[in-house]
Structure 1
Amino acid sequence: MNGKKILFVSSELVPYLPQNEVSLMSYETPRMVNSNGGQIRIFMPRYGNINERRHQLHEVIRLSGMNLVINDMDMPLIIKVASIPRERIQVYFIDNEEYFKRKATFADQEGKLFPDNDERAIFFAKGVVETVKKLNWSPDIIHIHGWMASLLPLYLREYYGDEPLFADSKIVTSVYGNGFEGDLDKKIKEKIAFDGIANENLAPLSTPNYNNLLKIAVDFSDAVILASEEIPTELNEHIANLQKPVLPYVPLQEFEEAYMNFYNTEVLK
């Protein structure tokens, strides 16, 4: 991976959120690339349950201050950073008070999904791209982890399709078995179409559940990693029908060699 630039975009990441399959692999994969000579950037949302003082988050003024238009509303973009000390890895946090100040990640105390999770995902996708543009950093690979990041491939290919910074970037989506129960807001298609993205690309989102959100992600990716031992059957069948490289599930103890080989021989070929 010597000198290769990899952008990691994740819903969750340890040590900032509790450990689960997504948050752990979102940490282990960039750690592995970093230790093998690659250049990395990591982005995640700045949820309100992340302890800013403990993790020493601070705002980057030169990257903040832009407004993103979400469903015809101006939403201020705030960028914060922190470092994972023992790995010397810097993490960028996409923040907005309206979307991310609440003291939870995806659902309220009763376990009900936040009604604006769709807009949060749109804001996150656009916020990542706009910040990488400001950094003027052209990634060789963009690796997606977790459903909150799943609209990024669509936005990169359709909304930012003419952006030269990403012209040669390859998109990899890791698909996990655990998503969310229920549906996002039924108007998600309209909100994405507001950005000029064609309706025919959004057909799966007529029912905006976890499986269909991930179908959109893999449809606009160049390669797919099955990151859980058990993937929903419907998703598995959809991925099997894609004419794209797919890395089958490998356990954590064996992932480094498998992922490195997949990056080098299938994604960057």
Structure 2
Amino acid sequence: MFLCCFGGGAQMKVLFAITEAEPFVKTGGLGEVGRYLPLALQEQGMEIRVILPQYSSIPPNYLQKMKTIKEFTVPLAWRNQYCGLKELKYEGIHYYFLDNEYYFRRSRCYGDGDEGEQYAYFSRAVLESVRYLPEFKPDIIHCHDWHTALVPLFLKAFYARDTLYYNIKTLFTIHNLKYQGIFPREVREDVLGLSGELSSSAQLEFYGGVNFMKAGIMHSDQVTTVSPTYAQEIQHPYFGEGLHGVIQGRKDSLLGILNGVPRPWPSPTLADKRANRMKLQEQLNFTNNEEIPILSMISRLVEQKGLDLLLHVLDEILALDIRLVVLGTGDAHYEERLQRFAEGYPGKLRVILGYQEELAHRIYAGADIFLMPSRFEPCGIAQMIAMSYGTIPIVRETGGLKDTVRPYSPISGEGNGFTFTDYNAHELLYAIQKAVEMFRNQKDTWQKLQENALSSDFSWNRSAARYRDVYESLYYSS
């Protein structure tokens, strides 16, 4: 194990400020980051602790095991709000939960009308909690997405003269720039309570409103995002969601680090693939035929994921001798159109609306080809999971998809999937036709492609090593 030590043999201490961590709360990939990245970092010798809201949706068996460390008040403009700091050790990691029923006893984590105040409270409470963490003063606070983006700004605004907070550095990770935390301008005075230079419109203003993510980008010591390609893309208007100029201003402090995925255990083999394929065919009532490729898509059914492209050429795709399964939920018009296609192609297309974790992994494990034609994709997890089962991805070259899926080269034998460049339905169709032809007529090449996919390294340990380097650089910087 790599031991990340400093003067006197002490370990570097990093506090993760994040709003999701499975198994406590998970609405998407952020929940996996909150669980697996701390574990991988701890394995590399760092002392990692995680702090998140105590949502009412956390399963009761975890709530019952939490121990209260301290009760205190959190200043938020003219308010002084209660906070209970609780602790639970899970998989060797100390998790801290911030308890306030007014802000976190909700039917959902995100989307309420007062979430500007809700997550401003969370950011301020994270900093106040530093006073009470037992035997732990963080060297770095690692903030994730807009919900924690005020931590770097608040640290400068309210704690600069407090010796307890001297030398604490901040790292801000953008997981998806599309979601920024934009609120009316009144939030700046009524909720944030900022004054002086840090209250100026340049720090937070965004087209007449207040933008939390802008504050995180501007005021953190280091900015990362979740793939090298996405780090380049968001500096340009098409992907920059209105913040490309701000991001360009921090480009010297911006890095892209891919997320990871937990590998299936035991690691699948090609023999496992054949068995999983048989089981999937039976479950989906597809004809048992090894010569007919099974295509799959597991996704939120929204524009970002390339549903427009798929639907535009779905008749042509289904004219091929293939089977296709789609699992997901999302916008009603995509769900309805997919269901109509399924009715028109019985036995060839299965559309399963909703999300079932066990079924998703059966599809990843049993399908031959995985479709991910996203309009944009900061990192993407599904393509990495698919490859860990030897399922070959077809992706558009954007964000983390470009960084993880390399087109197969028959000359070198390298590559682990198929890609296309432009957001164009017929480029997607051509890539599918190419993959189907290889599956049918180039068996040895297809097997090599599967072996390449299975051997691709998308482990959290690889991601943790990159973050460890960033933490060290921050720690030693003046």
- Relative to the length of structure 1, the TM-score reads 0.84
* Shift, 1:195, TM fit: 4.7
Aligned to 1:93: 97
1:63 aligned to which of 70, 78, 81: 70
SS in structure 1 of the partner of residue 26 of structure 2: coil
Deviation sequence 1:115-153 (CA, Å, 0-9, x none):
221111121122111221123632111100122111111
User: Are 1:7 and 2:15 matched, yes or no?
Assistant: yes
* Shift, 1:54, TM fit: 4.2
Aligned to 1:263: 471
The whole-number CA distance in structure 1 between the counterparts of 2:161 and 2:115 is 27
Paired AA for residue 83 in structure 1: K
Higher relative contact order (CA 8 A, sep 6+): 1
Aligned to 1:42: 50
Give the number of aligned pairs: 256
The whole-number CA distance in structure 2 between the counterparts of 1:94 and 1:106 is 16
Aligned to 1:72: 78
CA RMSD of aligned residues (A): 2.5
The whole-number CA distance in structure 2 between the counterparts of 1:4 and 1:99 is 32
Aligned to 2:219: 220
Deviation sequence 1:129-185 (CA, Å, 0-9, x none):
122112363211110012211111111111111121221111100111165488435
Deviation sequence 1:214-252 (CA, Å, 0-9, x none):
110021111111125645413344223226422124242
Deviation sequence 1:105-124 (CA, Å, 0-9, x none):
012xxxxxx12211111211
**Structure 1 residues 207 and 79: alpha-carbon distance in aligned structure 2, compared to 1, 3 A threshold:** same
Percent of paired sites with the same residue: 23
**Structure 1 residues 179 and 100: alpha-carbon distance in aligned structure 2, compared to 1, 3 A threshold:** farther
User: Are 1:148 and 2:147 matched, yes or no?
Assistant: yes
Aligned to 2:31: 23
Paired AA for residue 108 in structure 2: A
Aligned to 1:207: 209
**Structure 1 residues 195 and 203: alpha-carbon distance in aligned structure 2, compared to 1, 3 A threshold:** closer
Aligned to 1:174: 173
Paired AA for residue 199 in structure 1: S
Deviation sequence 1:181-218 (CA, Å, 0-9, x none):
8843542111355254642164425423xxx3211002
SS in structure 2 of the partner of residue 133 of structure 1: coil
* Shift, 1:19, TM fit: 5.5
* Shift, 1:46, TM fit: 1.1
Alpha-carbon contact 2:54-2:104 (below 8 Å) kept: yes
Instruction: Summarize the alignment of residues 100-115 of structure 1 with structure 2, pairs less than 5 Å apart.
Output: 100-107=104-111, 114-115=112-113
Paired AA for residue 126 in structure 1: R
Alpha-carbon contact 2:146-2:180 (below 8 Å) kept: no
SS in structure 1 of the partner of residue 107 of structure 2: coil
SS in structure 2 of the partner of residue 218 of structure 1: helix
SS in structure 1 of the partner of residue 70 of structure 2: coil
- Comparing 256-265 and 39-48, the one that deviates more: 256-265
1:131 aligned to which of 97, 104, 129: 129
Alpha-carbon contact 1:4-1:38 (below 8 Å) kept: yes
The whole-number CA distance in structure 2 between the counterparts of 1:263 and 1:33 is 11
The whole-number CA distance in structure 2 between the counterparts of 1:35 and 1:16 is 21
**Structure 1 residues 247 and 268: alpha-carbon distance in aligned structure 2, compared to 1, 3 A threshold:** farther
The whole-number CA distance in structure 1 between the counterparts of 2:474 and 2:193 is 35
Alpha-carbon contact 2:44-2:465 (below 8 Å) kept: no
SS in structure 1 of the partner of residue 220 of structure 2: coil
Alpha-carbon contact 1:41-1:90 (below 8 Å) kept: yes
The whole-number CA distance in structure 1 between the counterparts of 2:472 and 2:218 is 21
Could you say which structure has the larger radius of gyration? 2
SS in structure 1 of the partner of residue 80 of structure 2: strand
SS in structure 2 of the partner of residue 184 of structure 1: strand
Deviation sequence 1:78-128 (CA, Å, 0-9, x none):
1222222xx211210111111111121012xxxxxx122111112112211
Gaps in structure 2 of 5+ consecutive residues? 6-10, 261-457
SS in structure 2 of the partner of residue 188 of structure 1: helix
Alpha-carbon contact 2:41-2:465 (below 8 Å) kept: no
Aligned to 1:110: none
SS in structure 2 of the partner of residue 115 of structure 1: coil
Alpha-carbon contact 1:6-1:38 (below 8 Å) kept: yes
Higher share of residues assigned helix: 2
The whole-number CA distance in structure 1 between the counterparts of 2:64 and 2:32 is 20
SS in structure 2 of the partner of residue 121 of structure 1: helix
Alpha-carbon contact 1:47-1:103 (below 8 Å) kept: no
Alpha-carbon contact 2:24-2:62 (below 8 Å) kept: no
User: Are 1:189 and 2:191 matched, yes or no?
Assistant: no
**Structure 1 residues 36 and 100: alpha-carbon distance in aligned structure 2, compared to 1, 3 A threshold:** same
Alpha-carbon contact 1:151-1:216 (below 8 Å) kept: yes
